Amino acid sequence: MPALDTLGISPFRPRSPWWGPDLQTLRNFLVAPPADLPGERVWFDTNDGTGDRMAALVNRPLYAAKQRSTVILIHGLSGSENSLYMAPSARHFLDAGHTVIRLNLRGAGPSRNTCHDHYHAGRSEDLRHVIDALPDNMTSHGVVLVGFSLGGSLAIKYLAESGPHQPVAALVSVSAPIDLTDTCLNMLRRRNSIYHQRLLSDFKRERITLGDAYTPEETAVIEAARNFLELDDRFFAPRFGYANVWDYYARCTAEQFLDDIRVPTLMIHALDDPIVPATAYQSYRWHNNMHLHPLLPENGGHVGFHGADPTPWYLHSMSRFLAKFGAD
């Protein structure tokens, strides 16, 4: 497991006034985001008989000194191409000469209008549909997956299932919940009630706006769920063929797939993340897989990492990592 200095990554140091995990996490909601980047709208068929199509925004560099990998940004729970971490990440990679795809998972953001169903923690095949559909000129120099929170978990599962026969050259996850049970139980803590209720409210709104995609009984279950444990147990588990919530979490949790990753993978996670516990990161035996590179600073919150530089620390860390492994 390479040290930070071997990878050329500087330690993360928070700056005033963003002290502590909660302010690091909430900073994106408290400060106005930069202007969005206009892009080319593209669609990806799911090819599973549902007729669902996922929307994405593609940003292409005006000029690049050399051909670079295509970066696919994958949002987290209740997110979309417009999530507050997506546009700055797109701009960062675009400025470096990468073509960037901001993917809206099934039923999220602009994908709501063209999908009858929704993404969930186990639906990694949707990433396969996207990557398989990319034209040669977007895969010839490799594809880099960048997954935020749940998007990171999905990307890990996809890579483990796909093996070596795919164009992905590297993966970076930021604040990914690699143990779904621990994460859900942590969200139920009183200190996390604000996060929980905000995410649950946004999550419910996403699903209910899909309209006739669900039966009246399913809609009633969604509306009545008081927390994610109830929602996952009473809606997601039965709808997608899991025995119960614990079966759903056990079969979809990303930690069990880490041993099977075969491309350079940087996993960024703050030990003080208030939403996703660091326990699984601390207990995993990283030496089992030389392709995995954990980056676990003491501070940073959940998809935070706001330091002296206006650009989040994780973006500079990603660029250093990709250059080290020739995936840039």
134/261 same-domain check: yes
* Residue 291 predicted with pLDDT over 90: yes
Q: Which of 199, 221, 252 is the last residue of a domain?
A: 252
Percent of the chain with pLDDT over 70: 96
**Number of domains present in the structure of the chain:** 2
96/195 same-domain check: no
- Predicted pLDDT of residue 65: 67
- Predicted pLDDT of residue 2: 46
* Residue 3 predicted with pLDDT over 50: no
Domain housing 292: 4-179+253-324
> Which amino acid is located at 26 in the chain?
L
Among 26-30, 55-59, 157-161, 223-227, the minimum mean pLDDT is found in 26-30
| Three-state secondary structure call for residue 235 | helix
Burial of 41 (0-12, 13-18, 19+ CB in 10 A): exposed
Q: How far apart are CA 179 and CA 155, in angstroms?
A: 14
* Residue 36 predicted with pLDDT over 80: no
Q: pLDDT-based confidence at 32, cuts 50/70/90?
A: confident
Beta carbons within 8 Å of 321's beta carbon, 6+ residues apart: 7, 9, 170, 172, 264, 266, 293
- Predicted pLDDT of residue 1: 46
26/108 same-domain check: yes
Q: Which of 207, 222, 252 is the last residue of a domain?
A: 252
Average pLDDT over residues 178-193: 96
Question: What does the angle CA 113 – CA 117 – CA 120 come to, to the nearest 5 degrees?
Answer: 120
145/288 same-domain check: yes
Give Rg (Cα) of the chain: 19
Q: How far apart are CA 297 and CA 268, in angstroms?
A: 8
164/270 same-domain check: yes
pLDDT digits (tens, 9 = 90+) for 131-150: 999 999 999 999 999 999 99
308/245 same-domain check: no
Average pLDDT, the chain: 92
166/280 same-domain check: yes
Alpha helices for the chain (secondary structure H)? 4-7, 20-30, 86-95, 125-133, 136-139, 150-162, 180-187, 193-208, 216-224, 228-231, 237-239, 245-252, 279-283, 313-324
38/73 same-domain check: yes
**Cα 170 to the chain's mean position, in Å?**
14
Q: Strand pairing of 168-174 and 143-148? A: parallel
109/209 same-domain check: no
Average pLDDT over residues 99-120: 93
98/192 same-domain check: no
- Predicted pLDDT of residue 90: 96
Q: Are 45 and 133 in contact (CB under 8 A)?
A: yes
Query: How many H helices and E strands in the chain?
Result: 14, 8
266/119 same-domain check: yes
Q: How far apart are CA 198 and CA 272, in angstroms?
A: 20
239/211 same-domain check: yes
Q: Are 185 and 259 in contact (CB under 8 A)?
A: no
Q: Are 276 and 304 in contact (CB under 8 A)?
A: no
pLDDT digits (tens, 9 = 90+) for 245-290: 999 999 999 999 999 999 999 999 999 999 999 999 999 999 999 9
Q: How far apart are CA 111 and CA 54, in angstroms?
A: 5
Average pLDDT over residues 34-41: 85
The angle, 0 to 180 degrees and rounded to 10, between the axes of the packed helices 180-187 and 245-252 is 130
Q: How far apart are CA 71 and CA 86, in angstroms?
A: 12
pLDDT digits (tens, 9 = 90+) for 46-64: 999 999 999 999 999 987 6
Q: pLDDT-based confidence at 210, cuts 50/70/90?
A: low
Tokens read off for 17: 């006034």
32 compared with 302, residue with greater pLDDT: 302
- Predicted pLDDT of residue 212: 62
Q: Which of 204, 231, 252 is the last residue of a domain?
A: 252
pTM to 2 decimal places: 0.95
CATH number, residue 128: 3.40.50.1820
Tokens 């209008």 correspond to what residue? 113
- Predicted pLDDT of residue 328: 82
Tokens 């669609």 correspond to what residue? 43
Q: Are 274 and 280 in contact (CB under 8 A)?
A: no
Q: pLDDT-based confidence at 180, cuts 50/70/90?
A: very high
Burial of 241 (0-12, 13-18, 19+ CB in 10 A): exposed
Q: pLDDT-based confidence at 197, cuts 50/70/90?
A: very high
Q: Are 143 and 114 in contact (CB under 8 A)?
A: no
* Residue 4 predicted with pLDDT over 60: no
Q: Are 74 and 152 in contact (CB under 8 A)?
A: yes
